[in-house]
Chain A
Amino acid sequence: MVIKMANSKTSEKKNNHLKYYFNYLLVGVFFLIFFILDMTMGLRTSTTQLLTKIAYSIILATSLNMIVGFLGELSLGHAGFMCVGAYIGCFCANFLHTVIPSPLIVLIIAMMIGGLVAALFGFLIGLPTLRLKGDYLAIATLAFGEIVRTIFKNLSAFGGAQGLPTKRYDKSLYIIAFLIVFITLFVIQNLKRSKHGRAIEAIRDNEIAARAMGINITYYKLIVFIIAAGFAGIAGVIYGHLVTPVANTFFSFNYSIEILVMVVLGGMGSITGSIIASTLLTFINVQLTTQLSGDMAALKYLIYALILIAMVLWNNAPALSNVREKVSLHHLLAWFNGKFSSKKPEKDSQTAVENAVYLKEEADWKKIPTKIPMDSILSTDIKPDRTTEADKPEKSSKQ
């Protein structure tokens, strides 16, 4: 049984690593294909613009996924955070251009400032809305998004209703945008796979129980809002360097919903899903806008809506579950593993073994022989510099 356990442990690890790096791989391959194309034959401006749009959509969707998928709260004001980042970041950039000659450095500083200010707004919004839940929080964030937009619309320093004129970055903006995508993925995935991420998910699953486990709910909710808002702000700065002028109408309620649609379509809590959904939707959206002109332009919304309905059906319709299972990521990964490690998953026999163990352990409950020293399991405070002694309590209970 010990050997069996060791086996399952390594395969688990392998699988986890694959899953863990999958998102980087996905975005990396996507980016590299276009990067190499760009280097060898050069891409049209419309393509690099599309790539930049895809990149900031991914940032927006994954950061909103933190709030909706991991924390389990509904936020309808993500475009508001993006708006703050875009206006503040680009305002600073306009000023910095007069001082610093390199547009790259200006962009980086602008992204930092835009991100930080948006994060500050995330904190400010997080504070009063902590007591709100579900629908009420959604409405409060919705109101925030609209208020922010209206404020910028009425500030003449930010260009008023005409919008803030910005200096466009050159074609290579998409490279920087994708670098930011990687940073976003890095932060969000690493946070998710830590004790803090588990605490956040615990709050989502059961707030009362999380509180009874001593999880500091206020702290984690604020952290999630701050990080998500910060990344939305950075996405806003990227947007501001792609489109000029930065107009308040873009950051309307509709756009918040569009980001939410990406998250929901991709599957709440799934980062891979958010990446794929935001890429596809952005692509479809841009294609529809450019392909349909004149009288046909009105059809865009019809087709877009039809595609959304089709995607939702594909994701959720029970009748399609078999087909879905066959092309699912999990299935493909298993197939990939089986193909290259010459070891079949043997799912059924595995569960049979597990069941047998389960039955056996059930019966063995009263026979657990050793007195388990609770203190060895629990009481020692983990000090970062402690040299870890591998699974001592486990061994003592196994003998």
Chain B
Amino acid sequence: MQQRSIIRLGVPLAVAALALSACGSRSDSATGSSAASTKVAKIGVIAPLSGGLSAMGLGIKNSVDLAIKQANDSGAVAGWKFELYALDDEAKAEVGKNAATKISSDDAVIGVVGTLNSSVAQQTVPVLAAAKIAQVSPANTNPTLTQGADLANKKRPYNNYFRTCTTDAVQGPFAAQYLLGQGIKAVATIHDKKTYGQGLVDAFTAEFTKGGGKVVAAETVGENDKDFATVISKIKPSAPGAIYYGGEYPTAGPLSQQMKAQGLTIPLMGGDGIFDPKFIELAGATATGDMATSVGAPTDSTDAGKKFLTEYKAGGYKEEASAYGGYGYDAAKAIIEAAKSALKDAKDVKSGRDALLTALGKVSFDGVTGKVAFDEYGDTTSKVLTVYKVDGGKWVPAKTDTFK
């Protein structure tokens, strides 16, 4: 229902915006073609370029810029030149939606790399879908974006959305396999009753019991709880080998600390919601041994990744590539790759957009984060995840593997 109202609002908005910008863009392309025979296709970026998450957003923007420069230098698509068109979403859904509306009114945009947050993508995808602009996300992990709200009955909501990172749906099972592999057969689960946390724990429990493990206690905590003594006392007699926590670090950090202060000295494991330095700060010295899964491999762990980081450095960007830079680079390259066939015979960007969506579904190349290719939902076919472990006050990669 909500989705529908967004379309209802988004379509007329997009149409109006296109109509308004029609005259402007015609004169643009006229001057463009008279000056040189190369035509311009813009690649948009929607990411948080300011605020708390800007480190990751700027890493994505710079990486896309690098991919565009390299494509232009090598003349990746004959007769076409790419340009960067980056907008800030401040990690807010509404701001992201406005950015998407602005981008969809530009006839020269062929595709968008972004967003960082799944919540923002939920707003931008429908707006861009109305204009048939591809969106390739380097960082969204919410499964519903590609597989629809009903995960038991998968249905792709928008055919313009793709992502180069894997999703939450495989994080829980991946953690289950890892713990079983470590010989831990009894686990207690705790989650915070939010969509993300409950989803992680449900997926974890299913895989863990299938693999012969036993969930000896299943508890929930309130999102704003700070004192977990009672829950810990309740779990302790069932003697679990580890606790799997579904939720985020503001709750997980104190939980880990209090667990250990109460003599329950077993590791706490969680998803990418606790994979943050702040977790270790809140959990204190006893956090050593706690684990988290996160999507993808550390960029500097592969040869292609190292090459990318060297080139990134040579590009002279002020900010680090950060966790999702490699994925942003691969996302931009996927768009450029698809443009090779889609824009070859197109007279302008707008008429090539349909072909690009089809071509994007078929791309397949070796990127810096692994093989880049999409399944029928637009999810990446490479399901690489990494288990990180707290050691010496830092998250250290413990195991990178492909989820099967």
Q: Do A and B bind each other?
A: no
